[in-house]
Amino acid sequence: MENEAVRLYIIARALLNLGSHYLNGSDGGHPGMKDGYKGRNVKLAERGGYDEVALHTATWSDKSCTGRCTNVGGDELGPKNKAVEDYCKKNLDAGLDPKIWQPFEGNLYPRRYLEKKTSTIYVGEDCRNVRHFDCISFVNWVLGTSLQKSFQYSIVQYEGKKSGSGVIAPVKTYKAPFNDLQNADILTNIKWEHKDNKDGKEDDKDWVVDKQHIGFYMAGGKVIEASGAKVGVIISDYKQSDWTGMSRIKDSYLKFGA
């Protein structure tokens, strides 16, 4: 019964973060607060002007958050791009600091992928006071804060494979088909790519991760996941074909802080 209660608690922690934004490399922190799982400093960009617009936009390393965005176009100015240009010009002409610009529409602000110098404009949610995750940091943050233990594992480790340090996550792994799924089971999807064999021997070192994803199973045929820039943390429908691995936290770890 205790294990079931802990599983429900993990799911409840995950659900509390629905609507959080997706930012590759972030660890669950609010911009400027260093309160993520690893204390990474997710920053906030405040730049005005159509050429380099970024209002209330979380950034990490060379990435910027699109704020569960709507993509409004690239090089050519469509109707909404022209509206963004007019919005920026109006605020600049009024001499307003970008920090106090009113939303472009609703709670949405224009932004770009700053460091990539892309011409594409996105209209996304205000990043202030919002947690920022990628898929693996979401799983680690939820487990770590729920169980009060260190969870800093990779997707490969959750699928039961050793990292360079020889570590595997404290889980029991299962092969498809995944029957009898339970709350807080961990779903993984890893696509491997074969690289050139330099030593003439076929072994695990000849394979590298091409694409990968991770999320939590929730009873009722659902998945809670940090799904990407346009949607952030969401509940989606479970499809077994979407996942290559499933693992379950070992019973010895399913204790409240023990």
Whole-angstrom Cα distance, residue 72 to residue 30?
26
pLDDT digits (tens, 9 = 90+) for 207-223: 565 578 999 999 999 99
Residue 131 corresponds to which tokens in the numbers above?
């947690």
Q: Is 144 helix (H, G, I), strand (E, B) or coil?
A: helix
Pick the more confident residue, 229 or 195. 229
Question: Rounded mean pLDDT of 148-177?
Answer: 87
Per-residue pLDDT, 200: 53
Per-residue pLDDT, 119: 73
Pick the more confident residue, 44 or 166. 44
pLDDT digits (tens, 9 = 90+) for 38-71: 888 899 999 999 988 999 999 998 889 999 987 7
Structure confidence at residue 2 as a pLDDT band (50, 70, 90): confident
Question: Rounded mean pLDDT of 99-127?
Answer: 87
pLDDT digits (tens, 9 = 90+) for 233-253: 999 999 999 999 999 999 999
* Residue 247: strand pairing partners: 173, 186
